[in-house]
Amino acid sequence: MKKRGVLMSHSLKAAALVLLAGAVLTNARADPAYSISTPDSVLTGMVTGASVTIRLGAPSSALLSRATLKLNGADVTSALHADGAGSMSGVVAGLEPGANVLQLFSKTSKEMVAQLTIMKALAPAVSCESLMSLTGFPVQSTRITQATLASPSGTTPEYCLVQGRIQERTGIAGIFGTTSYRTDQPYGTRFEVRLPTAWNGRYLFQGSGGTEGGLPGATGQIGGTAGLAILRNGFVVASQNGGHTNSELPPAYPPGSTTTDLNHIQVISGNMFFPDAQAVKDWGYNSIDVTTQTAKFLINAYYGRAQERSYFVGCSTSGRQGMAMSQRFPQHYDGIVAGDPFYLPPDISLSETWGLEQIISVSPIVNGTPQYLQSFTLADQNLFTNAILAACDHLDGLVDGVIDNMAACTFDPATFVFPSSGVYGSIAPGMPLQCTGDKTATCLTPAQVNATKKIAEGPRTSSGERITSPDGTTLSGYPFDGGFMQPSGIPTRDIGSANSPPGNIGLGSGQLPLFWFATPDPGYNPLTVNYDTDIHLVTPASPVVNNSTDIGQFIGRGGKIIFYHGLSDSGPPWPYTQKYFHDVMVKNGGYAGAAKFMKLYLVPNMGHCSGNMATDQFDMLTPMVNWIENGVAPEEIIASGNRFPATIGPYTGLSNTTRSRPLCPYPKTLRYNGSGDISQAGSYACQ
């Protein structure tokens, strides 16, 4: 839906987005009875003229008639006229290029009761081509390789496309003592910045994932910005490659070998930068830092002024990198959206490997190669999904294929018995999920059930004790959720598909002995970790570990951070993100204190950053802009997903029907209102 004015995230039915103001940035008290809105611009966009249509709302016309509206400190109340009960509107002139702040003051209070920031478009001060000869960059050895004015195309506006390289050098790569080893490996941060001809005064860093190694187009179209046309809205957008280029790294070793199995190890090409300490640091945070400095330098050169606000949006690796910015470079960004963050890589890798080993334990082994697809057939995966939905889907008051009350869910696959009636009553009426005899289509073997329970519980010693990693963190598993055995849950990382092996073989588990051992050991088979004896091999620290809770400088300058995480993510387990949120909360005045600068949204059924029968499409950037620029903390955020079934019934796989639902700020959870279309967000509320 196209959004205009200011986001009011807790209003699900408003036809226009209205700011119900709180002024956290100026310590003013919020009064949700007052509002400022405009139909002339989306909140994350801009206007091009010097005037704008403004609408005010208040509890009564009498109160509004005594209110004062100021634009950049000047009284503009006379531009408005009454146009209904508790409503005024008019055209306010005098907008200046850049940020313009409208503030509403009530007669009965000297404090501001509403605020709206409107950006007026800014134009370039120099030609795009002139950036090719730019000098004096903040990071030495920066060079521009392209500065081209891109013509408008479709909904994409005209923009200046700049690409370049920073800190080019040679280093080492590959496995020492093998033909893969190099001492002349080229490294360096490659970056792209797109600077629109009509600029809204804002800068956005667009994150990427995995080990990076490619240069994504800086379009701003990334998870967490669903529905937004970032360049059309006027953002300058930057992206980068993580300090290395995958196509230049040594090929997988041994050459011509297959995926790692129980008898041999293959190091994939994308991991081959592991022995170069600077390359690891670049991937950890340095490439983001130098790209940010360079992008802001280019902004100043092109427009003749600095950005008004800076935002960061990323998921997975870049969710972690966003956290690194708040911890290491608190001055770089005003607002950070960090999704499914890979911020504790050694611990996360141990969790991932534990899950993979449980799947291997129930997979037939042929010549040392686990037959992953036979561990849980697609029918077995669907059976498990139906079992957990039958056990817990109804606990939130609505049977809809989504579990919104996991706190009340006591699902144990070893003792669960299918119901004989209701939505899930036709699957195996009155029969246990765990087979009591031979394996059939309506039961799982005790070994399969045990594997799922171990994955959910997380790493344990052979005596059943929980494990603490060298950095002091208790290792997490993957708690049961409705999407646990849906395609983007455990299957994508630990079972694979007919077209691809389990994702953890190359990344999560494959990286463990390379990046996350104190002494890298490419000869260690990551599919055979001994959780009794090998934990000490793991490093307690790395440039890629971003778990510091000391973010006081970021908070002190008004920084805000929004976390989100899929409850069926089979990469980084969501409890690690919840733990970080809790640890920061404890240091900053509990939930009430932390709510001033930090939010967490846990997304039922969603896999890693997206996927499954989940509402995995959402816009976190607009609420962040509203929080930073207008002081309105986000509450409910509307999300949608298009893999739901058309009718309620047993789970048979992903479908293609769209639903929308609110995402709730932790610790709130979603509940159905008791009536209304279950596919519409307005039928739900957070509580």
Which residues are annotated as catalytic? 316, 569, 608
d(CA 420, CA 26): 59
Three-state DSSP state, 566: strand
d(CA 627, CA 117): 11
Strands (E), 248-348: 309-315, 335-339
How are strands ordered across the β-sheet holding 74-75? 74-75, 68-71, 98-105, 112-120
- In sequence order, the 6+-apart residues with CB closer than 8 A to the CB of 683 are 672, 673, 675, 676, 677
Give the pair of three-digit tokens for residue 254: 């041994």
d(CA 273, CA 154): 39
Helices (H) and strands (E) in the chain, counts: 13, 25
Helix (H) or strand (E) run with residue 331 in it:
none
- In sequence order, the 6+-apart residues with CB closer than 8 A to the CB of 330 are 551, 553, 554, 556, 557, 559
Neighbouring CB atoms inside 10 A of 117's CB total 23
Of the candidates 543, 572, 547, 576, the residue with the CA atom closest to the CA atom of residue 274: 543
How are strands ordered across the β-sheet holding 657-663? 617-618, 637-644, 657-663
**Which H, E and C letters describe 598-613, residue by residue?**
EEEEEECCCCCCCCCC
Phi, psi of 73 (to 5 degrees): 90, -10
Give the pair of three-digit tokens for residue 652: 């048979």
Q: Which residues pair with 93 in a beta bridge?
A: 51
Cβ proximity of 445 and 413 under 8 Å? no
Give the pair of three-digit tokens for residue 379: 């029918």
Three-state DSSP state, 278: helix
Q: Phi-psi region for residue 445, left (φ > 0), alpha (ψ -120 to 50) or beta?
A: beta
Neighbouring CB atoms inside 10 A of 445's CB total 15
Of the candidates 299, 286, 663, 351, the residue with the CA atom closest to the CA atom of residue 508: 351
Three-state DSSP state, 661: strand
Cβ proximity of 442 and 436 under 8 Å? no
Cβ proximity of 8 and 17 under 8 Å? yes
Residue pointed to by tokens 């646990």: 484
Inter-CA distances, 437 with 24, 162, 388, 466, Å: 62, 65, 21, 32
Phi, psi of 158 (to 5 degrees): -65, 140
Of the candidates 585, 576, 355, 598, the residue with the CA atom closest to the CA atom of residue 471: 576
d(CA 132, CA 53): 40
d(CA 356, CA 658): 32
Three-state DSSP state, 20: strand
